[in-house]
Every structure is written in structure tokens, then in C-alpha cells.
A and B are shown apart, each in its own frame.
Chain A
């Protein structure tokens, strides 16, 4: 049985369930307690669990991220919230040089079971410093795991897994998905990392999409099947590190064509990694050029029409499909 709930509601449920299940789990971030988070994602949790489990921190991202490391290394399971992923830059030393590496450097003698939730995404007119997506940076740091859900059921199941994982996990939920409803299973469930999901099976071309782009890819696939008689297979990797290469490979072997879609800007985005790896592994199976559809290489502008030009949509994905099919 399932219920239809929004992504942000699903995230709230995941946090609530994991906090109820394990008293070592606590939340720390700005405005997550009394305010319940400006998007209401943590609504009700402070009222239920109190100050010692939902900690409202001063605006000190590097400091409280470092403190989450210390708490995690000595037995707790913190979930840090950095409200806009753009501000993760303030905590980079703690994430990259400390959190990702202390287990390795110290001979495996400690573990760092922490989650950093850092909402991404453009489309709201929040402009250059509040609209970015940096998942590619963290895929590039051994020691971290990177999760990027697109839908409610994925968000909930993956966040629960992230909290139970004994490693540091970056969890990049997309702000524009917060109010998108999806079917979420009743009862207890988790989704393992490294398992992509085929959101729509198809014969003619593989579209690998992340986050908000999964929704646009599905819309594009519907139009292509109606208008162009092209049957698209849409795959959501769900976790970028570890990434389920087997599922992607299976699909490309079947279809012979590949389009990768992400919102983050094109140059050196995760699309580059996926294309490179599949070009090498699936070289003999590709019948057409592999293509990326990605955000433009510009800082996200304020003006809403200009912003629309930056972010991929169903139309640009369709153009990408035709470009790949030749």
C-alpha cells in the first residue's frame, strides 16, 4: 500500500522515523528547530524531540559541520542541514579534508556516520548564490557518498539509508521537488545506495537524469513517444557515489544511445563522468554520439526568463535525444 505525499513531507518522515528509532540521531543547522526550516522540511521535529535533538545553530557552517564530525566520531549520528547547498563552500575544509579522510588517515580507528543535507536547485529567482548544484565536487572526493533523489519515495528511503550508513553522506534534495507529490510505500522501508531505478522502460535511447531533471526527462519521454514515436528509457541513478554502472550499462547495451541530463552547469558536471565512463565501457554498443544536456556555464541570473534559459527543460532534452539519434 502507498500514500501520496510530497518530497518535503517524505524527508520529514524519514528524519522523524530515524530519530525515533535511534536516539543517537540529532539534527543541527540554521532555523531547523523553532522555525521548522524555511521550507518547512523539519516542521514539528523540534516540538517532538526538543533542544537536545534538534539544535538551532548560529550561522557558522564550518564550525557546526566540524562539530558534527566530532560528535559522529565519538558515537553520535548527526544530520547537518546547510539550507542552500551554495553555502556548503563555507564548510569545505571540514567536509573534504576532515570528514572524508579521518577514517582513512587514522587507520580505520574511527567512523564518521554523518549526513549533510544541502538542498540544491534553481528556478525560484534566488539568483547566483542560492541556486547552484555542486554534487560533482563531492563525487570527486574519496571517502564521501553522494545521494540525489528526485521523488518522494526515493527521498525517504535513501535518507533513512543515509542516516544508518556509517559513512559521511551528502544528501542533495532539490528545492523545486519539495512540493511534488509521489507514491510512498506505507511502513518501514529503505533504499540501498548504488541502485539506479529505471523510471520508464524503453527501447530506443537511454536518458540518465538526476534530481529535478528526472521529472523533465519523463515529460520529454511522454512527448517523444506521442509525437516522435521514440521510446525512451529514463534512468535515475539516485546515488552518484556509489553509482550503479551495471544498470546504466545494461540499458545502453539495449538501446545503443545515451543522453545524460543534469541541472548543474555542463563543464565538469557529473554528466562528463557518466559519458566518459560509459563511452569507455559501452563503446562497442553505442550506435550514436553520447550527449549531455546540462545547465549553461553561467552564474544563475535573477531575471526569470534568463533563468529559464539556463536550466534544461523537456524541450532541450528532446533536442538532445534527436542530436544523439542523429
Chain B
């Protein structure tokens, strides 16, 4: 975007930062980031039609607009690190190495899904890759993230945990309890607030008395930073720094990735509580368009190559839908599996 556009947007989004990759993110890794973001967008865009045809049912919450956050944050982690997620967890699962085939099968309730069809969208989990499941309770996984970090501290393990949660989660009591305990015990956890400025129908200005959620970090004596959530490089930088701090024993941080929820709260949300026109001005910040523009402007990839990557993402999702559609219904015995461990 040009300087004039930049200044215009900064009027309502002061966090806006130009895309500038950090030195440890070379062209290959930048393309990887873009691939991940494209795959998330393609996956989430497929949801409304699948939901309308009742192939995916119940509740599904799309990660559209947040792609830069999951992609940037997960790229900043080591293979042994953990993440916890929210009800809006498809993006987290994909960014942490999730297989879209098994994810789509799970959303369709098929036995080939990650959770044998017993979790669905809100509980999608890829535990083997360190993604400790999506959680249907707002803020419900915040304690779990800090507990994972507590284990690391007690055992002397080198891993860190990124706790993804939203602006909604930051108002739950457990956020405050957990930030406090993580701060006194110096736990290696990063509280990554995905501030999309909407808690279902409650806009940020009606839910908070501070301009940034990261401002609350000082109340717990820990660092807090607010970044451009539409910018994968900025999210990457902030998480990389916070992770290094955590690994060095300096404890937790708050990283607030501010962006905007482009779509409704859940797939069939009619959004009557907000002015749809207002959401359009945020579309100018679309993280995919900005990343694409950066890759082309910097010579990392041609427009054709970018289009190719977009098509590839679309095809992978189509294949995932095929995989899911051909999947099997879980047999009734599945009901009683895994209630208890042996």
C-alpha cells in the first residue's frame, strides 16, 4: 500500500506496521508462511457451503483474518513447543502442522478424523504435534497452557507454550489468575491474545477500559506488547522474542496481536449486531493480500507463483473435502472409547 493509504489506515489502526521480515526468515521460510496462511484461508472459506449442506454441522468458528497470527506465531516455535487453542482453532491446528484431511474428516464427524469424529470443530486436536486441542469454553484452556509450562519449569524441560486466546478470554477470571501464577513462578508461557475486537456481539470499546489488552501485563509485572496482527512478520518477531525470554528463565509475556474479525462469530452468524460496512475498511489490511504484495514487491515470488500457491491451497482443501466425504461414520462402540485411560 502507498504512504497515503498507510496514513489513512493508521488513523483507525495505529498498530499498522509495514511488512519487513526479520533476518532469520529467509525467502524460503517467507514462502512457507504464505503457504500456511493460504491453506488456512482456503480451509475456512470452504466452511459456509459445507455448513449449509449440513456436511459440517453444530458449531464452527472461522479463523478468517487471523491467518498471520497462527502462521507467524507457530513459525517462531521449535518442534517440541506446545500451543493451546480456542473454539476458533482450525488456524492453530493447521499452523502447528495439522493434516487438513484429518481435520476435515473430524469436522464431518468421520472416524478418520483426528478425534474419531467425537470432537468436531471446537475440539479439534493434534496432540502429537504439540497442539493441545481446541477448547469450546472461552478462556478454558488458559490454565492448561500455564500448566504445560509449569511442567516444563518443574522438569527443567526447554519447551515453551503459546496460549492462544481472544479478547473475550482476557476478561475471564482464569486469565488473571493464570497470569498472576505464571508471573510469580516465571513460567515459560506466552499469552498470545488474538484481539479481533469482537466478543461475539460485544465490541472492544464496550468490553475494555484500556486501549490495549497488553496494557494489563504490567499489572502482573510482566512484559506486554501489542503488534499488527495482520502482519505475520511482526507476530513472528514478538513470539520469537517472548519465547527466547521464556526459555532463558525470565518467565511469561503477553503478546497482543490486534486485528479484526472479518466474518461472523460462527459460520451462520447473521451479524445483525454490527455495521457490515465498517468491516469493509478492515479488509484493506487483509493479511494474505499484504503478504502477497510484499513477496512480489521484494522479488521473492512472481504474481504467477503466488497465484499458483493459492491454487495449490485450494486444491489441498478440495482433496480434504473428498477425503472427509468418503470417510466412515464412527461405529456405536466408539461412544465408550477413551472416556478413561487404562
Contact = CB atoms under 8 A, between A and B. Distances in A.
A and B: partners?
yes
Interface of A: 26, 52, 57-58, 60, 62-76, 93-94, 97-98, 102-113, 142-143, 145, 166-167
A71 B180 contact: no
B166 interface: no
Given A74-B132, A104-B118, A107-B115, 8 more contacts: A62-B173, A63-B178, A66-B142, A68-B147, A74-B151, A102-B144, A108-B337, A167-B341
Interface string B140-183: 11111111111110110000010000000000011001101100
Contacts of A69: 143-144, 147
B82 A66 contact: no
Contact of A107 (B125, B155, B339): B125
B143 A97 contact: no
A67 B178 contact: yes
B342 interface: yes
A102 B141 CA distance: 10
B154 A97 contact: no
A107 B341 contact: no
Interface string B175-194: 00110110010000000000
Given A66-B142, A108-B338, A76 B181 contact: no
B137 interface: yes
Most buried by B among A52, A70, A105: A70
A75 B151 contact: yes
Contacts of B151: 70-71, 74-76
B133 A102 contact: yes
Contacts of B133: 102, 105-106, 110
Contacts of B144: 66-67, 69-70, 73, 98, 102
Contacts of A65: 143
A226 to B, nearest CB: 44
B150 to A, nearest CB: 5
B16 interface: no
Given A73-B132, A103-B341, A166-B341, A67 B146 contact: yes
Contacts of A112: 341
A107 B93 CA distance: 15
B166 to A, nearest CB: 16
A57 B181 contact: yes
B181 A105 contact: no
A94 B184 contact: no
A93 B175 CA distance: 13
Q: Top 4 A-B pairs ranked by shortest CB distance? A: A66-B143, A70-B147, A63-B177, A108-B338
A58 to B, nearest CB: 6
Contacts of A109: 125, 127-128
Interface string B306-342: 0000000000000000000000000000000111111
A67 B154 contact: no
Contacts of A64: 143, 177, 181
Contact of A93 (B113, B137, B147, B178): B137
Most buried by A among B128, B141, B340: B340
B108 to A, nearest CB: 15
Contacts of A103: 338-341
A26 B154 contact: yes
B341 A111 contact: yes
A107 B174 contact: no
Contacts of B140: 66, 93-94, 97-98
B257 interface: no
Contact of B119 (A58, A94, A105, A166): A105
Contacts of B178: 60, 63, 66-67
Contact of A70 (B114, B125, B146): B146
A66 B148 CA distance: 10
A294 B141 CA distance: 38
A132 to B, nearest CB: 22
B341 A63 contact: no
Given A62-B177, A68-B147, A70-B150, A105 B115 contact: yes
A93 B154 CA distance: 25
18 contacts: A60-B177, A62-B143, A63-B181, A64-B143, A66-B178, A70-B132, A70-B143, A70-B150, A73-B147, A74-B148, A76-B151, A97-B137, A97-B140, A103-B340, A105-B123, A106-B125, A110-B133, A167-B340
Nearest to B116: A107
B338 A67 contact: no
B135 interface: yes
Nearest to A78: B147
Contacts of A108: 116, 337-338, 341
B147 A66 contact: yes
A97 B174 CA distance: 14
A143 B339 CA distance: 5
Nearest to A72: B147
A107 B119 contact: yes
Contacts of B155: 75-76
B148 A70 contact: yes
Contacts of B128: 109
Given A52-B154, A70-B144, A76-B151, A106 B115 contact: yes
Contact of B184 (A58, A67, A143): A58
A185 B173 CA distance: 45
A63 B139 CA distance: 11
Contact of A71 (B141, B147, B173, B337): B147
B147 A67 contact: yes
A66 B341 contact: no
A58 B147 CA distance: 15
